[in-house]
């Protein structure tokens, strides 16, 4: 990092329990409808949900060759994803023509006007393995990690991206931005997007107007799986601290890039593989080595802790961790004291 990024006073943070995600994309739409319906950002998803194993969104995002960081945490040249082949163009449709042809002999059916090459959820539910032996997949909802050492901030020659002092939210100053897209290129999570109409970068703002009012981001509030926790990292009474620091079951995605993500995941447990005769084995369907490629070595103790606590709960013993993850009282998923609202110029 060449820029001096002052440590924020507090860091707002999110934990997502992947064991509960249904892949419903409610979060995606909640976010999109709120922030991202402009023509130049129609293809972009500040919040996206991927099926993994899979190519991710944008396609190739988990391939170390696309991000601007080496797996040792150094800088390397990344890739600006292509609209057709990596993001997927926001196809437009021909509803009017289709309706007009209802009585005609040649019927026109609703379909994309553009050539379809890829889309934000294109390999949904594809996964890997053979039915019924070891077929598997899980959903990975992703948003900007509001990193402690953000590659996007580091990449901008105009210093147009900054981390807010109050809560560590990483924001693009679109008045400063000249649309050079080094941030898009550098972020290994590909969570800065380019508004190709306004020609500036855009990214997740962690719903900051809501955060200032003490309301969790739309993706978290609307999640029917109740799998998202929102709060401040230093709040020892809050769910973030408990899951990240105390129980150590919530771990960052791709820690190898060294950006210090502030979004954490509870890794997915999975039912056993079957052997050739169809008998359940002791091995989980989602290979732990695959999870390690996403979450690093910390996935092992995290899974062990989860399995141990789940077993306790099954034996009828108390488990603070399981109670927290079950989210009996969903309002407790969010601990966000309202703040004096900053007036943004």
* Subset of 267-296 contacting other proteins (CB under 8 A): 274, 277-280
Considering the complex, state which of residue 88 and residue 134 has its C-beta at the smaller distance from ligand SF4. Answer: 88
Contact code string over 206-225 relative to ligand SF4, x by CB under 6 A: -----------------xxx
Q: Which stretch binds other proteins (CB under 8 A): 124-132, 238-246, 297-305, 336-344?
A: 124-132
Which residue in the set 11, 18, 30, 32 belongs to the binding site for other proteins (CB under 8 A)?
32
- When asked if residue 129 is in the footprint of other proteins (CB under 8 A), the reply is yes
- When asked if residue 74 is in the footprint of other proteins (CB under 8 A), the reply is yes
Which residue in the set 16, 18, 31, 43 belongs to the binding site for other proteins (CB under 8 A)?
43
Number of residues that bind other proteins (CB under 8 A): 81
Convert the chain into a string of H (helix), E (strand) and C (coil). Answer: CCCCCCCCCCCEEEEEECCCCCCCCHHHHHHHHHHCCCHHHCCCCCCEEEEECCCCCCCCCCCCCCCCECCCCCECCCCCCCHHHHHCCCCCECHHHHHHCCCCCCCCCCCECCCCCCCCCCCCCCCECCCCCCCECEEEEECCCCCCCCHHHHHCCCCCEEECCCCCCEEECCCCCCCCCHHHHHCCCCCEEEECCCCEEEECCCCHHHHHCCCCCHHHHCCCCCCEEEEECCCCCCHHHHHHHHCCCCEECCHHHCCCCCEEEECCCCCEEECCCCCEEEEECCCHHHHHHHHCCCHHHHHHHHHHHHHHHHCCCCCHHHHHHHCCCHHHHECCCCCCCCCCC
Give the footprint of ligand SF4 on residues 292-331 (CB under 6 A). Answer: none
Which residue in the set 65, 72, 132, 328 belongs to the binding site for other proteins (CB under 8 A)?
132
Give the footprint of ligand SF4 on residues 155-194 (CB under 6 A). Answer: 170, 187, 189, 191-192
- When asked if residue 116 is in the footprint of other proteins (CB under 8 A), the reply is yes
- When asked if residue 154 is in the footprint of other proteins (CB under 8 A), the reply is yes
Q: Which stretch binds other proteins (CB under 8 A): 25-33, 213-221, 305-313, 329-337?
A: 25-33
How far is Cα 48 from Cα 120, in angstroms, rounded to an integer?
7
Which residue in the set 11, 13, 26, 48 belongs to the binding site for ligand SF4 (CB under 6 A)?
26
Which residue in the set 31, 49, 169, 327 belongs to the binding site for ligand SF4 (CB under 6 A)?
49
CB of 203 to other proteins, least distance (A): 14
Considering the complex, state which of residue 90 and residue 269 has its C-beta at the smaller distance from other proteins. Answer: 90
- When asked if residue 151 is in the footprint of ligand SF4 (CB under 6 A), the reply is yes
């Amino acid at each position: 990092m060449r820029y001096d990024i002052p440590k924020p006073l507090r860091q707002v943070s999110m934990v997502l329990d992947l064991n509960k995600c249904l892949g419903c994309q409610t979060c995606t739409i909640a976010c999109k409808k709120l922030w991202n319906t402009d023509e130049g950002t129609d293809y972009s998803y500040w919040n996206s949900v991927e099926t993994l194993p899979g190519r991710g969104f944008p396609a190739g995002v988990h391939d170390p060759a696309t991000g601007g960081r080496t797996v040792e945490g150094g800088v390397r040249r990344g890739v600006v994803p292509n609209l057709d082949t990596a993001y997927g163009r926001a196809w437009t449709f021909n509803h009017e023509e289709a309706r007009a042809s209802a009585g005609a002999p040649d019927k026109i059916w609703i379909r994309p006007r553009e050539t379809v090459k890829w889309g934000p959820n294109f390999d949904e539910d594809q996964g890997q393995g053979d039915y019924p032996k070891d077929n598997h997949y899980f959903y990975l909802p992703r948003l900007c990690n509001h990193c402690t050492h953000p590659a996007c901030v580091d990449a901008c020659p105009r210093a147009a991206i900054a981390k807010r002092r109050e809560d560590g939210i990483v924001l693009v100053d679109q008045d400063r931005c000249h649309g050079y897209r080094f941030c898009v290129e550098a972020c290994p999570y590909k969570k800065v997007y380019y508004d190709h109409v306004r020609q500036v970068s855009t990214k997740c703002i962690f719903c900051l107007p809501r955060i200032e009012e003490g309301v969790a981001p739309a993706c978290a509030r609307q999640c029917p799986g109740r799998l998202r926790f929102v709060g401040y990292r230093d709040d020892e009474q809050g769910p973030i601290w408990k899951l990240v620091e105390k129980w150590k079951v919530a771990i960052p995605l791709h820690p190898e890039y060294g950006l210090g993500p502030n979004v954490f995941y509870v890794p997915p447990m999975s039912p056993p593989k079957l052997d050739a005769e169809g008998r359940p084995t002791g091995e989980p369907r989602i290979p732990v080595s695959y999870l390690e490629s996403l979450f690093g070595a910390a996935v092992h103790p995290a899974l062990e802790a989860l399995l141990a606590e789940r077993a306790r709960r099954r034996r009828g013993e108390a488990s603070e961790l399981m109670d927290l993850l079950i989210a009996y009282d969903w309002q407790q998923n969010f601990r966000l004291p309202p703040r004096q609202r900053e007036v943004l110029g």
